[in-house]
């Protein structure tokens, strides 16, 4: 019986950690926008993700880490890719997202219908040598 309690406690602990990562990302993005370091306000939330990008630790129905760029205009694909590269170039952040069950990075704007998505596992240097 106690093993069930431990499973539930671990599940809620992981959910809390996922929430904290998202909250800290949004807090840092808001600070960068307010202080003038970033021209666009970014906001992250969890989505379904892309089933083609799943990995062993993917969370069912919540594997997408979506960043919405609140720019007030439709962004070209090149700018969406540039926003995605900021996250993908941070290997420690990508590894943390993977460890917490996200498998897809999505970047969208707030006006257009265009978006880009990336498989996180391809940007984590998994199986390689750590620097």
Q: Alpha-carbon distance 91 to 107, whole Å?
A: 18
pTM reported for the whole predicted model: 0.84
- Are the CB atoms for 59 and 99 separated by under 8 Å? no
Residue 128, domain member (yes or no): no
Residue 131, domain member (yes or no): no
List the pLDDT tens digit at each of the 131 positions of the chain.
444 444 544 555 567 899 999 999 999 999 999 999 998 999 999 999 999 999 998 998 899 999 999 988 899 999 999 999 999 999 999 999 999 999 999 999 998 788 999 999 999 887 654 44
Number of structural domains found in the chain: 1
Half-sphere exposure of 79 (CA within 13 A, CB side): 15
Per the structure, the complete domain to which residue 117 belongs is given by: 2-123
């Amino acid at each position: 019986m106690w093993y069930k309690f431990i499973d539930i406690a671990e599940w809620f602990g992981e959910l809390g950690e996922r929430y904290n990562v998202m909250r800290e990302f949004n807090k840092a993005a808001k600070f960068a926008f307010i202080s003038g370091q970033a021209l666009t306000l970014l906001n992250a939330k969890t989505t379904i993700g892309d089933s083609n990008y799943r990995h062993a630790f993917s969370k069912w129905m919540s594997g997408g880490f979506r960043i919405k760029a609140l720019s007030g205009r439709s962004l070209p694909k090149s700018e969406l890719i540039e926003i995605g590269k900021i996250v993908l170039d941070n290997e420690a952040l990508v590894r943390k997202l993977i460890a917490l069950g996200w498998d897809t990075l999505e970047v969208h704007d707030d006006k257009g219908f265009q978006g880009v998505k990336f498989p996180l596992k391809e940007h984590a240097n998994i199986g390689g040598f750590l620097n």
